[in-house]
Chains A and B, each alone.
Chain A
Amino acid sequence: MTTVFFQQVLNGVILGCIYALIALGLSLVFGILEMTNFAHGEFYMLGAFMALFSMTHLGVPFFVALLIAMLGMALVSALIERMVFRPIVGKPLINSMLLSFGLSTALANLALFFFKADPRKITSGLAGVRFRFWGLFLTGERLAILILSIILVLGLTWFIQRTRMGKAMRAVAQDRVAAQLAGVNVKRVYSVTFAISGALAAAAGTMVGAMFFVSPEMGFTVVLKSFVIVILAGAGRIRGVILAAVLIGLVESLGGGFISYAYKDAYPFLLLVLLFIFKPEGLMGGA
């Protein structure tokens, strides 16, 4: 029984790593542009397709495809920000919500039209690698996710803490007008924010595509959960997002394994309710 418990914990942590990669990008956009981007799930889906096609059409190895997908999605999301989101910066919240929902519907169905509904698998070459220790199971793909998310999170932290652009992003997140007055190019900050967010989503999408499948509808279910993580984490903190993501991963894994898998989608809501009752300022709030 203890083996089963620790296996569920391990599953939950890996799941949390995927959620963290997706939610980090969402949290950046949320914190800096004050927008809810429902199309973030589609960025994740498109990233996965980019990796898939680089492998099948260009014949590049898996980790090169991962890089291509991240760069490609960085470009695409910066472009989408420029064309679709920029016109409504500062408009009421419902506008950005429904706008991104329209974008999500359009992108998902375009993908359905061009790539067809049947799911495909990215062959990473890691699937056959399996580790067994203390009675626990871990596949090469899952280990790769763990390592990749640690690298990306460290990289992002360095970028935001140490670079000029990172400082500008922090300034805009705190007070847009003041940052503008201090000479920060706010428009560039917006583009870079979306680019980073798209790249992180593409990384998550590619890894999930290798672990499970790539399909046009893979984005929608994941985006709501990521929003819960963003809310749980409170105002745009990397540490908070990771904590919240792992928490959601654990709750799903343990709740699904020991209580009921069918009720799994309800657990994040209960977590939210608990948070509002006991710690209304967010998980990391006040710390």
Chain B
Amino acid sequence: MMRRLIQALLFLLVAAGLYVLPRFFSMDYYLHIFVMSEIYAVLALSLALIVGFTGQVSMGHAAFYGMGAYASALLSIRLGCSFWVAFWLSGLFAGCVSYVIGRLVLRLRGHVLAITTAFFCVLVTVVMNNWIAVTNGPMGITGIPRPSPLNLGLVRLVFESRVHYYYLGLFFVAGVLFILHRLVRSRLGDAMIAIRENEELATSLGIDAMKIKLLAFTLGGAIAGLAGSFYAHYILFISPVTFSMNESINMLVMIIFGGMSTLFGPILGAVALTVLPEFLRMAGEMRLVIYGVALICFIIWLPEGLWGSLRNVLLSMNEAKRMEE
């Protein structure tokens, strides 16, 4: 009872903090970093579902992100869809593609799966670069419209300024977090973890591994597609360079940095790795060397990620306390 109350209070505190954040950091520069953090938080969460919870290493997540962005941009420019329609349709599109790809590649395991998904990402970039009639190739797509104003009763979001994107992004992250929280706490979530730990054992316990893996892959891809749509209508210009394989690796680094078998870890990793490079701007040429060495150190000494390791410490302290009592 007490615990629940504390949790609820904590939740309200965080929500209030996030609500008033733009009051203190009202400059567009800060808001841009916040919005990008939100987009990456969603991407990292959706990737954590596939890699962290279900244990299927995908290096092709940027492909679904990109497909969502292109689908949304094309739907709104060519067919005049409003953002609110294009957003859901692009998620649906990315989800469908990831279902088909998942069917094809999820039979594979480990390294082979990772490399194959990496090549899927390369394939998607190659198509974006060369299918000029649809994607306009490397020239990218300009003139993507902003979302039309949204009336939420209490607040009216008009998307002329970055603050409004920030609030919409908050809803987006919260929604994804809620769905994934429910999912991983359900029996499906247990099945996912069982597959991650030992697929043969899980199968022998009557879990349809392919179905569960496919579910995680499809849902993850669909959410990445939604994030792509949000990105496209935020930056208002997209081109293939944004959705390269490097971006997939960037997302993987985010979840390993934060801790990938939790829900808070990926968010932490996404925010940290969006904000930190801004601070490291002055490090100049050595920035990427620092980044590479930090990644090596992390994997050797903190393989559970920042949040995962912290949680382990807290848990063991709790455990020790209980032992004393």
A: residues with CB less than 8 A from B are 30, 34, 36, 84, 87-88, 91-95, 97-99, 101-110, 112-113, 224, 227-228, 231, 260, 262-263, 265-266, 268-270, 272-273, 276, 280
Cβ contacts under 8 Å, A34 to chain B: 111
In Å, the complex CA distance between A113 and B286 comes to 7
Please report the number of residue pairs spanning A and B whose Cβ atoms sit closer than 8 angstroms: 119
Question: Number of contacting residues on B, CB 8 A?
Answer: 41
Verify B104–A273 contact, CB threshold 8 A.
yes
In Å, the complex CA distance between A110 and B122 comes to 26
In Å, the complex CA distance between A84 and B297 comes to 9
Verify A280–B115 contact, CB threshold 8 A.
no
Cβ contacts under 8 Å, A266 to chain B: 122-123, 126-127
Residue B300 at the chain A interface, CB threshold 8 Å: yes
Residue B21 at the chain A interface, CB threshold 8 Å: no
In Å, the complex CA distance between A260 and B253 comes to 34
Q: With A91-B303, A94-B57, A103-B292 given, is the CB distance from A36 to B252 under 8 Å?
A: no
Cβ contacts under 8 Å, A87 to chain B: 300
Q: With A113-B285, A276-B107 given, is the CB distance from A227 to B295 under 8 Å?
A: no
Verify A98–B295 contact, CB threshold 8 A.
yes
In Å, the complex CA distance between A91 and B303 comes to 9
Most chain A beta-carbon neighbours within 10 Å: one of B55, B112, B298? B112
Cβ contacts under 8 Å, A92 to chain B: 55
Cβ contacts under 8 Å, B115 to chain A: 36, 224, 227-228, 231
Cβ contacts under 8 Å, A265 to chain B: 122-123, 126
Q: With A102-B293, A103-B292 given, is the CB distance from A263 to B130 under 8 Å?
A: yes
Verify B252–A109 contact, CB threshold 8 A.
no
Q: How far is the CB of A58 from chain B (nearest CB, A)?
A: 27
Verify A110–B303 contact, CB threshold 8 A.
no
Most chain A beta-carbon neighbours within 10 Å: one of B115, B130, B299? B299
Q: Which of A88, A105, A227 contacts B292 (CB 8 A)?
A: A105
B: residues with CB less than 8 A from A are 51, 55, 57, 104-105, 107-108, 110-112, 114-116, 118-120, 122-123, 126-127, 129-130, 245, 249, 252-253, 256, 285-286, 288-289, 291-296, 298-300, 303
Q: Which of B108, B130, B286, B288 contacts A276 (CB 8 A)?
A: B108
Verify A280–B293 contact, CB threshold 8 A.
no
Verify A112–B111 contact, CB threshold 8 A.
no
Q: Which of B51, B104, B105, B127 contacts A94 (CB 8 A)?
A: B51
Q: How far is the CB of A87 from chain B (nearest CB, A)?
A: 5
Question: From B284, which residue of chain A is reached at the shortest CB distance?
Answer: A113
Across the A-B interface, the 9 shortest Cβ-Cβ residue pairs:
A106-B292, A102-B295, A105-B292, A269-B119, A109-B288, A266-B126, A102-B296, A99-B299, A227-B115
Q: Which of B114, B293, B296 contacts A97 (CB 8 A)?
A: B114
In Å, the complex CA distance between A23 and B249 comes to 22
Q: How far is the CB of A274 from chain B (nearest CB, A)?
A: 11
With contacts A227-B115, A273-B104 known, what are 6 further pairs, Cβ within 8 A?
A: A94-B252, A99-B295, A103-B292, A228-B115, A231-B111, A272-B116
Verify A269–B130 contact, CB threshold 8 A.
no
Cβ contacts under 8 Å, B295 to chain A: 98-99, 101-102, 105
Cβ contacts under 8 Å, B55 to chain A: 92
In Å, the complex CA distance between A276 and B108 comes to 9
Q: Which of B116, B130, B252, B288 contacts A260 (CB 8 A)?
A: B130
Q: With A227-B115, A260-B130, A276-B107 given, is the CB distance from A93 to B293 under 8 Å?
A: no
Question: From A226, which residue of chain B is reached at the shortest CB distance?
Answer: B115
Q: With A97-B57, A227-B115, A228-B115 given, is the CB distance from A103 to B296 under 8 Å?
A: yes
In Å, the complex CA distance between A101 and B246 comes to 10
Verify B299–A95 contact, CB threshold 8 A.
yes
In Å, the complex CA distance between A114 and B51 comes to 36
In Å, the complex CA distance between A88 and B302 comes to 11
Verify A224–B107 contact, CB threshold 8 A.
no
In Å, the complex CA distance between A105 and B245 comes to 14
Cβ contacts under 8 Å, B119 to chain A: 224, 228, 268-269, 272
Q: With A98-B252, A262-B129 given, is the CB distance from A93 to B289 under 8 Å?
A: no
